[in-house]
Every structure is written in structure tokens, then in C-alpha cells.
Chain A
Amino acid sequence: MSSNHSKRLWMYAQMVKSRYFEDLIKPAYFEGKTPVFNMAKGPLPGEMHLSDGQEPCAVGVCAHLRPDDTITATHRPHHIAIAKGVDLNAMAAEIFGKKDGLAGGRGGHMHLFDPAVNFSCSGIIAQGMGPAVGAAMAAKMRGSDAIAVAFLGEGAANQGAFHESLNLASVWKAPVVFVIEDNSYGISVPKSACTAVASNADRAGGYAMPGHHVSGNDPDAVYAIAGIAIEWARSGSGPSLIEIETSRLEGHFMGDPEGYRPKDEVKRLKERDPIPAYRARLVAEGFEEAELDRAESEARGKVDQAFAFARSNDYPEPKEAFDHVFA
């Protein structure tokens, strides 16, 4: 099996794993929230931002990363966490607010920290970009060739932190890659209504770094471009920016009525769902169905196991809320 073959099989399996993870979140999220939807109820209270459709961004980038490379991710983090190799049982338990979750239930789905694979995410737009520059500089200053990747949405490119972080990374030649998952909506506001440039990749030039654009929501295309940007960082050439056209197949959060979206848009996007499309391509290029089936079933098995773990895990003791406020 060639290295290319195994990478692509890995990417496919991670996409399936991520999607299946979200597929299990959906019914669990609505438990206790019917017939009257109330975000506070059920085993998964609060906002839930699903990543359906955005898997190619995560797998195409993470296929190049090592555990000592850092990722900072967003409020929509599951696909990236899974592709980075975050402990799936502990991640699921965290999302269910259980005691053996990544943070013992303190963080929840927008605040997943797994230092074993240098993954973190948080809930404020563009907030992870500065920390990614910092992680990159820490690696550089200790003489490591580890890099950092900051994931962000296209809406984040209008934040001050975006522009400041690009400039800082460039001035310091930080080994960091900024990855924009452009799903074309910031909650309800389309990119075209709030962004002065058609392509955020063009903004990289303003900060003297390479800017790449990847169209088609295609894991192979993401993989190819991410390889260039990550090698650029790892070899000491500095930061770069990648803009990936992707699609948000669900609402901004679960329960979002999505009245702002043109009718049929989601239907059209689902017809171009990247996961079956990728499977079809792999089959056309000689992958055996049985091999893909095995990868799928293994991926699903791990997710089933993680959800079973999360469901059966106990809640933490309430008074443990007072732990870890300080180191």
C-alpha cells in the first residue's frame, strides 16, 4: 500500500468518523427537547455547532500534522478535534458534561482541550489565532520543527485579531498556518454582505505571506495545498494562509431555523456532500469497496464506543466545579 493510498484511506475514515459522530449527536441533542424545543434541556444543553460538510478542511490539513503540532480551533470544532486525534472517549464525555471528559465537564463542546495532541478550541471568533502564533513561536524558540495551525471561519477574517495575528506571524516569521474554513455564512450573514474582498486569500499579500485558495470542498485538494503551507512553515519560511471553500450542511447551531438561507440551498449542498463524493472517487481510482467498508465500520465502531463511554460515565460531583480555577 503506497503512502498516498494510506493517507487517503485515513482521510476518508476520519471524515466518516466525524460525520458519524455528529450523526449521533443529533438525536442525543434533541432528547429532552421535544415536543417543545428548549436549549437548556436534555443531556446536551446549550448551543451545538455541527461540522457536517466541513470535514475535508480538517482531514486535508491534519493528514500532515504530528501530535506535537498545535491546533487552535473554533466554536465548530468536532471534525478538527477528531482529525487531530483528540481522545474520542474523553471528547464525547466532555460534550455530555461527564466526569471523565477532557475537562471533567467544565468546558463543553466549544472548549475542548487535549494537550496530549496539542489541540484546543474556544468560542469567540478569531480568538485562537494569537495563541496559534504563540504556540508556533514556542516551538521555534525551543528549536523544534513543530508548527501551529489556527482554524477559523471566513467571518473571523473581519476581526481585528485576524489582521493583527497575520501581521505578527509575518514579522516574527512564525511557523504557523492560518486555515479559513469558508462556509460562506457567519451565522446568518453571507460573506458577500460583510467582507470587502471576494477571496480572503488575497488578504495574505497584505501581510507578506503566501495566500492559497482551495475550491471544491475536496479533501485531496486541501491535502495538496496544506502540504505546501505546512512544509513552508516547518522549513522555517514562515506563515501562510489557506482559504478553503466548504459548506455548512446544518444550521449555525442546532435548532437554527435558517430562514436566512435560500430555499433548496442545503439540499443542493447535500447533493455535493464531500464524503460520498470522496468515496466514489476512491473507488473509481482503484480502492476496493471492501477496504473502504472496513475503514468505515472501524471508524463508526470507535464513535459508538465513545458515545457508550460518555453515556455510561457519571456526572462529576458538583463541588468539583471549584477545582482548577488556578493551576
Chain B
Amino acid sequence: MSLPDATVEKPGAERRLTIAKAMSEAIGQEMQRDPSILVMGEDIGKMGGVFGTTTGLFETFGGERVRDTPISETAFIGAAVGMAANGLRPIVELMFVDFFGVCMDAIYNLAAKQSYFSGGKVSCPMVLMTSVGGGYGDAGQHSQCLYATFGHLPGMKVVIPSNAHDAKGLMLSAIRDDNPVIFMFHKALQGMGWLGTVAGSINDTPESEYLVPIGKASIVREGSDVTIVGLGVTVHHALAAARNLAETGIDAEVLDLRTIAPLDRESILASVAKTGRLLVVDDDYLSCGIGAEVIATVCEALPAPLKCPPQRIAHPDIPIPFTPVMEHFLLPDAQKIESRIRAMLGAQR
């Protein structure tokens, strides 16, 4: 297959940004355009966000529009809902998705239901950005993904970019959306110097404004033998596996979900209809997860049986352990994807 990966630099590209820089650039540009936007969260002011999501915004827009909060998530996320109901467009950061435990009520019972409970009269245009993912030994309260938790609850859109280009476009779409959007960013892709970054996440990111639509997946590698569905960091694992598989003539298609809710079922079905095989890879807990939802989508819709049973790779149903020997044993990676696909095809060929 000769098509380039979407995450690989295009010839002539000049603006290779990290996801962190793409996010802060997108927010800054939107704040210039729309005075109703403000940013709140822990350490997002002078510090620029622990994960670099608000770098430079405090200096540009000042403390009225870029507000460090107390460690009071229940209050400031609740306040964001109230702001959003009253003409502002808050962007709120909660440093780790794991921390949502203390403030989930404001998210899934208030933000997510405001439009519905008001019969569409009161919207909730807010963005909640939060880091996800492990793989760097930060243990079980700082390494979770919780994609499916948020994807399960109606009334919120949930996005996760795998690269800087998409991060910027998705952030612009999220800010302009009149619904609460959970903007997840994966720590392994973020481009923080101290955390290590998967190279493919740093890519050509135009300075001009552009939208990546919410609810649209992206085929980042075309192939004919098997569809690998991933999101965030697992897209890069899938691409690495696909490159290795190509050496032995196995032609994998890689689909980057980009949005968890609403799920782009159409693109998934189109790809699997073409390849006849499906592997879903995510780093959230396995059961009741994204993989189950994607596979169910295919089983419900496709009339012909697949060439082999659909498969999923995810973190098993156990808390994320600290010690690297366990954590890396459990997390999805390219090698696990490659061997699963060889097994899937081996059973057929």
C-alpha cells in the first residue's frame, strides 16, 4: 500500500507542532475571535497547564479570561455549566481524567442534560479538556483513559486526537459546538518534553483556522486485509503494526476514530465491509468498552459474516498497576496488534 500515513509529515510541510502547542494555538485563536470564551482550571494560568494546553494564554489574555482555580472541581465545573447557560463559552481543564471522580455530577447530570431538560432552550457550550493514558509508571489514579465512561453517557460529545493537526481542528470544532465536548488528550502524544512523545503525533499543523468535524473518523492508512480501529495512542501502535505486517504481505487498514461520541459508525462499517476483518485497539478497560461498541456496530449492521471473528485488544479489567513490568505487559502495543492480526489471518489462510 503506497498511501502515506496521515500522521507522517507531508512534503513541504513547515509547521510541525505538538498536540500541546496545537491545542493552545487553537484556544488562543478562538479567544481572539470570540470574547465570550474563557479558560479555567488548575495550573492553567502562569504555568500554562501541566500538559501545555494553555501556554502563553495568560500572558495574552490576562487573569480575567484565563483563570487559575482552587482545587474545587465540583465548583468550577458546575460554574462552567452556569457560565455556558449565560452567554459565555468556558473551556475548562481538569488535569487528569482520573480526577473526574470528584466532579462527575456537574458533568453527566448537569452539563450533559442541560439542553435536554430545557427542551432545547438552554445549551451548554463548554469544552472540558483532560489528559488520559498511562505507560509511564504513574499508577492507577493517574493513568486511566475512561473513554467508554464518557462515551456511554448521553448529551456529551467526546473527542480524542491522535496528532497535532487533528487536535487543532477538533479544538476549534469543540469550542464552536453548542454542546459540552470532552476533549481528551493522550499523555503519550502530548509533546511535553518531560513525558516522551510518539513521533507521529507531531505533524503539519496550519496556522490558519480549520475545522476537523466532530463525529468523523479518519482512515489514516488504507488497506484491504483487515481493519484496525484505534484512537489516540493506539492509532500509532496500529500504524507501526501495519508497517510490519506489510513486510509479509498483510495489508492493514487503520481507522482513527477521532471521536468517541458520536461514533462514526458509517466509516467503521465501510472499512470492515471492504476488509472483512476487524480488530479494535484501545487502552481503556476492556469490558463494556469502545471495542465492544465498535464490534457490536459491525455485527448489527453487516449482513455477511466476517472472514474471522472480530477481535479487540484493550487494558484488561484490572486497575492499572504501577510497576512497569506489569503495566507494559497489560497495555496494548504494536507487537500485540501484529501477533493478533497474524493469528486472525492465520486461521483463515
Contacts and interface: CB of A to CB of B under 8 A. Distances in A.
B137 A259 contact: no
Interface stretch (A122-130, A166-174, A229-237): A122-130
A287 interface: no
A194 to B, nearest CB: 4
For the side of the interface on A, what is the size category?
Answer: 35 or more
B72 A318 contact: no
Nearest to A103: B322
Contact of B139 (A41, A107, A187): A107
Contact of B322 (A111, A160, A320): A111
A40 B141 contact: no
Contacts of A106: 140, 319, 321-323, 326
B46 A160 contact: no
A291 B309 CA distance: 72
Given A45-B136, A187-B43, A159 B330 contact: no
A193 interface: yes
B47 interface: yes
Contacts of A101: 323
Contact of B72 (A47, A160, A319): A160
B329 A319 contact: yes
A140 to B, nearest CB: 27
Contacts of B329: 318-319, 321
Contacts of B326: 97, 105-106, 316, 318, 320-321
B81 to A, nearest CB: 16
A40 B43 contact: no
B216 to A, nearest CB: 32
A290 interface: no
- Which secondary structure characterizes the binding site on chain A? loop
A110 B139 contact: yes
A110 to B, nearest CB: 6
Contacts of B194: 37-39, 255
Nearest to B330: A321
A260 B319 CA distance: 34
Contacts of A97: 137, 322-326
Interface of A: 37-41, 44-47, 94, 97-98, 101, 104-111, 122-126, 155-156, 158-161, 186-189, 193-195, 255, 259-260, 315-316, 318-322, 325
28 contacts: A39-B196, A46-B137, A46-B142, A47-B138, A97-B326, A98-B323, A104-B323, A105-B322, A107-B322, A109-B139, A122-B141, A123-B98, A124-B99, A124-B102, A126-B71, A159-B73, A160-B75, A186-B70, A186-B71, A187-B50, A189-B45, A194-B68, A315-B325, A318-B330, A320-B326, A321-B321, A321-B330, A325-B317
Interface of B: 42-43, 45-47, 50, 68-75, 98-99, 101-102, 135-142, 193-196, 316-319, 321-326, 328-330
Given A187-B42, A189-B70, A322-B318, 5 more contacts: A38-B195, A105-B323, A260-B47, A318-B330, A320-B326
